[in-house]
Amino acid sequence: MAATALHDLFFSRLIAQERRSPLTAETYQVEARRFLEWLAAEGLELGTADSSDLARYLDKRRNSDRIDSRSTAKVISALRSFFRFAVDESIRLDNPASILEVPRRSVHLPEVLSREAVERVLDTVDSDTPLGLRDRTIFELIYSAGLRVSEAVSLNLRDLDLPGAGSPEKGGGGIARVRGKGNKERLVVFGEVAVFWLRRYLKDSRPKLMRHLHSPALFIGRSGKRLSRKGIWKNYARFTALAGTSSRLHTLRHSFATELLSGGADLRSVQELLGHSDLTTTQIYTHVDVTLLRESHRKFLPRLGKETVQRGMGK
């Protein structure tokens, strides 16, 4: 079977049989293509490659592509799925990827920005242009609702429920129906400021970007079609550079979660808002909060402690 046909059939299986999300299916398809290219370069065949070949391939990805433990786990998951597919298609009899050991994921605390830092980034966006107004709106919505980038760009107009018109001070928050990982739907809430920017975008920017086309998508690119994740990532990187920071767009989601917990929200509520299937994923933000507290302790308490000692000594 030709490689292209194999990729397409594998993608169809991921969607129809394994019930993977389109994003996961696309990622696995890319990994399968990359693995097949490596096999061809090594003079190997899919039907005869063994576990030692897979181990060499993973070593190559770690050393040449510099993938971390989390990315390695994703590659192994993709290979296991691809070899299951190969067995079902009678390309081979066994699944050598099934014995690969998934590396233990190292815990990295997510990067967060203070509210002031977020505002500095957002203020660099020129909201007087249609594209700038669109970018400011999507950033505000991601920050206000804690959305993943993929969730934000997949929103349709019908997914929004906006309150009555008003300024950020006088209006109310809104609700959106989003599709998260595993194509699971959930309701998220967002604040009055995000509502304000959404109304401006829908009135002054989106009609100009549509170019007389018709699309259900909320956020539109230059072509009048749905905005891509890569496009908004690239724009955010430019604005963070202007603001003097190097944070990624996903940092807005991390900052949202950390602010909620710092403000007293309970862990279960934050889990629901973020769309985490496992509470342990949400719990990492409690560690971030502790880290921030320790930083405050380091900055302010030494001076307070010194003053207290001096007063105790009668100085």
Which residue out of 13, 136, 253, 254 is catalytically annotated? 253
Which residue out of 134, 136, 148, 254 is catalytically annotated? 148
70 catalytic, yes or no?
A: no
Which residue out of 7, 181, 225, 248 is catalytically annotated? 181
92 catalytic, yes or no?
A: no
Both tokens of residue 299? 């900055």
Which residue out of 34, 177, 229, 250 is catalytically annotated? 250
Which residue out of 285, 299, 303, 311 is catalytically annotated? 285
181 catalytic, yes or no?
A: yes
201 catalytic, yes or no?
A: no
230 catalytic, yes or no?
A: no
C-alpha distances (whole Å) from 121 to each of 53, 132, 207, 243, 278 are 46, 13, 26, 5, 31
285 catalytic, yes or no?
A: yes
What are the beta bridge partners of residue 177?
187
Which residue out of 20, 80, 179, 276 is catalytically annotated? 276
Residues belonging to the active site: 148, 181, 250, 253, 276, 285
